[in-house]
Amino acid sequence: MANTYAQIHIQVVFAVQNRISLIRPEWKDELYKYLTGIVQNHKHKVLAINGMPDHVHLLIGMRPVQSLSELIQQLKGDSSRWINEKKFVEGTFEWQEGYGAFSYGKSQINSVIDYIQNQEEHHRTKPFLDEYK
């Protein structure tokens, strides 16, 4: 599409099957690089990526050339196959069905990037239930 301009920022969150803490510090950076590569191969841009042992957050600058659900299917399917081929876990690694996806305006991007980059601090200081009081 000639002269097409889009500014689509989506934070995606998806979890390990049963929220089991399987993502180990010794290979999480490799996983993040692999996920980033998938996003880039689909002509989108990763603005931030981080997570915890049981889930991953990505902030993606999306181009309107692919549906979000198709991209997530690629991310989860390809990365779980890769994790299993690398034998990073005993047994079979799987992502939980479903995901969270949240859109943001340009003025919110720096705050979302900070939130994603500081996942460990966020989870250390804000127990899950406290967020809903």
Per-residue pLDDT tens over the stretch 35-87 = 999 999 999 999 999 999 999 999 999 999 999 999 999 999 999 999 999 99
Among 126, 14, 133, CA closest to 78: 14
Burial pattern 44-58, b for ≥16 Cβ within 10 A else e, equals bebbbbbbbebbbbb
| Residue 96 pLDDT | 96
Average pLDDT of the chain?
91
**Predicted confidence band of residue 125 (pLDDT cuts 50, 70, 90):** low
Residue 17, both tokens: 């099957």
Structural domains of the chain sorted by starting position, each given as residue range(s) with its CATH number in brackets: 8-132 (3.30.70.1290)
Q: Does 102 score more than 90 pLDDT?
A: yes
State which amino acid sits at residue 57: H
pTM of the model: 0.87
- Give percent of the chain above pLDDT 70: 89
Report whether 15 contacts 95 (CB < 8 A): yes
| Residue 1 pLDDT | 53
